[in-house]
Amino acid sequence: MRAKTLPLLTGLVLLTACSGGGETPPSPAAAPTSAPQATPASPASPAPSPSSSSPAPPSSSSNPPSTSAAPPVGSGKVVVLDPGHNGGNASHPAEINRKVPAGRGQTKPCNTTGTSTNAGYPEHAFTFAVAREVGNALAAKGIKVVYTRQNDSGVGPCVDERAQLGNDANADAVVSIHADGSTSPTAHGFHVAYSAPPLNAAQGEPSLKLARTLRDGIRDDGFATSTYIGSAGLSPRNDLAGLNLSTRPAVLVECGNMRNADEASQMSSAAGRAHYAQAIAKAIEAYLAGS
């Protein structure tokens, strides 16, 4: 996977570089309706005279409930989505190869081109399509979505700029979406990367909780965890700029290996991309509900 630069739309996204090539990473409410009024029953005996001191029977109905709608599930929450790479990166090598800060005293290329399936379906197109579907699902729940890039034809943004977008948005969660390109014949499955050791409080328990929640949600939706990177679907990393530079809870999801025939088939189909998006969106919602 590789990064790209591009104007922002209505949402953000966090970026991280894929581990393409299979290299092993370093360790380190609908408003309630009013209750119907009960019709008083006819008395069995004559009504008391006006002079009677008997108290009036209590009303058979209470005040109707408020009809104001409850706030949306994600009211006030902000999620930055970072579709890895960009469609114009390959035609602008000088721009994407220039070095930018990557955290921990490192520098890295501004962005990369990303990988592709053996049939040529590019990672940047996959990540952009999935991020949009995830964003639409979250927005429908009242969650504000910010994207790090607004189309799939631009260049960048650089990895440090993508991280800054999440920081500036004060995001409750930053999720970078990628796919891997390992040529190992047995490499398949997804994994979720997070910054380790943490450089700030947000990179500690909040990011680890986000990573575990994404891992659990994607796995429970039927996707296998990685056979070649990390452990049980989690991968601590100290070399990913988007994670190192984040001051918000942030993770990078490698959805699978684009060089694996089965996963390439899923990623290349609209139905497969919708399945990935559904799993990721549900997991983000679960994290926000518990944060």
Q: What is the DSSP code (8-state) at residue 73? A: T
- Distance of alpha carbon 247 from alpha carbon 218, whole angstroms: 24
Label residue 123 by pLDDT band (50, 70, 90).
very high
Catalytic residue among 161, 254, 263, 285: 254
pLDDT reported for residue 217: 98
pLDDT reported for residue 18: 61
Whether the predicted pLDDT of 216 surpasses 70 = yes
Whether the predicted pLDDT of 67 surpasses 70 = no
Q: State yes or no: cis peptide before 58, omega within 30 of 0.
A: no
DSSP labels, 27-47: ---PPPPPPPPPPPPPPSSPP
- Distance of alpha carbon 259 from alpha carbon 181, whole angstroms: 6
pLDDT reported for residue 71: 59
User: Is 95 annotated as catalytic?
Assistant: no
Using the structure block, give the residue that is written with the tokens 């005996």: 45
- Distance of alpha carbon 115 from alpha carbon 20, whole angstroms: 6
pLDDT reported for residue 291: 86
Between 160 and 32, the more confident residue is: 160
Whether the predicted pLDDT of 15 surpasses 90 = no
Between 66 and 113, the more confident residue is: 113
Region 156-179: what's the mean pLDDT? 98
Strand blocks (E) in 68-215: 78-83, 99-103, 106-109, 144-147, 173-180, 191-195
Q: What is the DSSP code (8-state) at residue 27? A: -
Whether the predicted pLDDT of 75 surpasses 60 = yes
Between 226 and 2, the more confident residue is: 226
Whether the predicted pLDDT of 189 surpasses 60 = yes
In degrees and rounded to multiples of 5, residue 193 shows phi and psi of: -95, 145
Whether the predicted pLDDT of 199 surpasses 60 = yes
240-272 pLDDT tens trace: 999 999 999 999 999 999 999 999 999 999 999
Burial of 216 (0-12, 13-18, 19+ CB in 10 A): middle
Whether the predicted pLDDT of 28 surpasses 80 = no
